[in-house]
Chains A and B, each alone.
Chain A
Amino acid sequence: MGRRVLVTGLGSFWGGRAAQALERDPSVDVIIGLDTTEPTVELERTEYVRCDESYSILSRIVRATQVDTIVHTFLIVDSSAVSSAQMHETNVIGTMNLFAAASQPESRVRNVVVKSSTLVYGSTHADPTWFTEETRRTALPRHRVERSLIEVEGYVRDYAADNPDVSVSVLRFSNVLGEQIVTPTTRALGLPVVPCVFGFDPRLQFVHESDVVRAVMFVLDHDLDGTYNVAGDGLLPWSEVAALCDKRLFPLPPLGQGVAAALLDRVGVDLPPELLDLLRYGRGVDNSRFKRTGFRYKYTTAGAVDAFARSLRLERAIGSADPEYRYERDVETFFRHSSAVVRGRR
């Protein structure tokens, strides 16, 4: 019997990408996607369910669909996108309810992958150059997105401890770059001048968006258990990242940064506080544990930056780097449900 996979956050970038990758996998029988918004990517056989983060719906879905695998991508790591309350509802309450649903006696769940972030390590002046999965933070979490993800990982740990027969893996992704993904970092690098903090040139680490999807699929294929950092090899100074993107730096004052960020916010440049920390102290995570499982990265940090820079140049030349696919509900329903569609061929 093939896999029955539940993808949370189907409408998000990663949920959609993960569902697309799962569709290409012949061993996956059923893909159910949950989200509060409709998916924005082309999907063939994924069943989309619009739902919120509440427990009653999630437990019914888990029971009714008998899923054996959960891909939990419905975690907000971009604090500029939503309000504090919404982030708490989605990340913490959503995860709590999801795992409550997955631990009910009728649940057939055997595999869980959670897409977390290296934000859980924070970014301070006392940090080591490389964080391993076990390195402790050097300061208490200061930003709500960090706190929220730490709480999420707490629920995941509890679930893993209570259900030793389930493979639970947490993937902590570093900042993602690529041709399509939009994050506060890509927006900052897309500005005519790239913001930096005066007198600081931190070293950052990136992972390419294709490696993110490959990592999720790799974990599912190998039934991996545990926590893994997912990040490209090497660290690049922010000045070099900007130079690779053919951009000049625009220094923000090192003091009174909140004021500067608020002013920039007014003109439409959103620099969330966790990004400002990163632009001061940077962050590196040790990716060797995940590599030892056999995973091979296609891109290093420099490679991810280069790929992003290429898409920036293309975008500058033609206006938009990737003509965005527009989700059309009727068409999608046709492709997913009509018997006229020959499935399993792409």
Chain B
Amino acid sequence: MAAHGSPGRKRPKLVAVPVDPATGEKAPRRPRPPAAATPADGAAGADAGAAEAAIGDEPAGPGVSGPGASIGDERLSDVDEWGRSQQLRDLLARFFDPVYDRWLRVEWEGFEKIPTEGGALMVANHAGAIPVDAPSIMHGIERELGRPVYGLADEVFKKMPVVNVAWSRLGGVQAHPDNAYRLLREQQQLVMVFPEGSKGPGKLYSERYRLRRFGRGGFVQIAMRAGVPIIPLAIIGNEETMPIVAKVPALAKALGVPYAPITANMLFGPIGMWVPFPAKMRIRVLDPVRLDVLPDQPRYSRSRIMDTSEAIRHAIQEELYDMLRRRRSVWTG
């Protein structure tokens, strides 16, 4: 008995994060922009009116506690303030790499338009009963640029056991305007959002590639407040990965989820519930939309917001039709 008991038995699940003795900071496994660890760091930057202040190696000024100012900061995990863990993302990447490369064969056009630094809000069309577009965008960008992507999503995830933890560790963030502002303005991160919400993936296959309403244009308002560009993405292939042939509203209501689909994948038995069809996925990056307004205003013109939102929706829709005109096959592109 005693011979088998290891002394470290009680901490099996968490792996100690290597701490650089010089700076006291955790060593990231990949190069990533130094994210502001506390809201204060960010708020101080916002005060200065320059968001760069939040991400630079600024000395501990008033209101900012620098390394060493506090006692006992040993961490056992690398979960950040948003709940994201780089280690878990790296772990997932190992499993998702073959899906991305071999199954969906994701191809990007105009990838160079995605900024290597600074905040930006990416918006895309969203489809498939279990949408694979979100992990594909995040995976592609994180692999190529080595910078994290945070995905804003509906609160429904946060209510589901297990799902909420996985979602949050892999970069999902509650779609609250405050969260978006902090990520974009104060921490200058890349943020992804699907303005259609659950209405995108929840539509029937017969309505494929026809964009739903872009919410109330909240994403435009957030980008305006944060002073970051909007980068529209048009994605094809996602509609065919898990087409919805029918919906069961009663079941959705009982489960408390936005939609309960019957998918074509279910023809292939229980495994089809979870596995997408190998449709070729193409992601086209549109020209960044820079919003010519002052950031940090309490309100913006509603008409301006709706015009921009409609223009972006229209641009993505047109781009989708263009990409579909060029597509010879669903499976090989």
Contact = CB atoms under 8 A, between A and B. Distances in A.
Interface residues of B, number: 45
Interface stretch (B161-169, B258-266, B303-311): B161-169
Interface in A203-257: 203, 232-237, 239-240, 243-244, 246-248, 254
Nearest to A308: B72
A296 B69 contact: yes
Interface in A238-292: 239-240, 243-244, 246-248, 254, 281, 284, 286-289, 291-292
Interface stretch (A8-16, A151-159, A193-201, A329-337): A193-201
Contact of A303 (B72, B77, B79, B162): B72
Contacts of B65: 233, 291, 296-297, 300
A162 to B, nearest CB: 28
Query: Which residue among B13, B72, B155, B179 has the maximum number of chain A CB atoms within 10 Å of its CB?
Result: B72
Contacts of B11: 243, 246
A233 B176 contact: no
Chain A interface secondary structure, helix, strand, loop or mixed?
A: loop
Interface string B208-226: 0000000000000000000
Contacts of A320: none
A135 B83 CA distance: 20
A130 B62 contact: no
Chain B interface secondary structure, helix, strand, loop or mixed?
A: loop
Given A128-B178, A288-B63, A240 B75 contact: yes
A335 B191 CA distance: 62
A315 to B, nearest CB: 16
Interface size on A, as a range, is 35 or more
A287 B81 contact: no
Contacts of B163: 199
B299 interface: no
B251 interface: no
Nearest to B37: A234
A237 B77 contact: yes
B76 interface: yes
Interface in B126-145: none
B89 to A, nearest CB: 15
Nearest to A197: B161
A129 interface: yes
A154 B155 CA distance: 30
Contacts of A232: 70
Contacts of A233: 37-38, 40, 65, 70
Given A199-B164, A236-B75, A239-B14, 17 more contacts: A125-B155, A127-B174, A128-B177, A129-B83, A129-B174, A129-B179, A132-B178, A201-B165, A243-B11, A243-B14, A244-B76, A287-B38, A288-B40, A288-B43, A291-B63, A291-B64, A300-B70
24 contacts: A125-B164, A126-B176, A129-B81, A130-B39, A197-B161, A198-B161, A233-B70, A236-B75, A236-B79, A237-B79, A240-B75, A240-B76, A243-B10, A243-B14, A243-B76, A254-B161, A288-B40, A296-B69, A297-B69, A299-B70, A299-B71, A300-B70, A302-B75, A303-B73
Interface of A: 125-130, 132, 135, 197-201, 203, 232-237, 239-240, 243-244, 246-248, 254, 281, 284, 286-289, 291-292, 294, 296-300, 302-303, 306-307
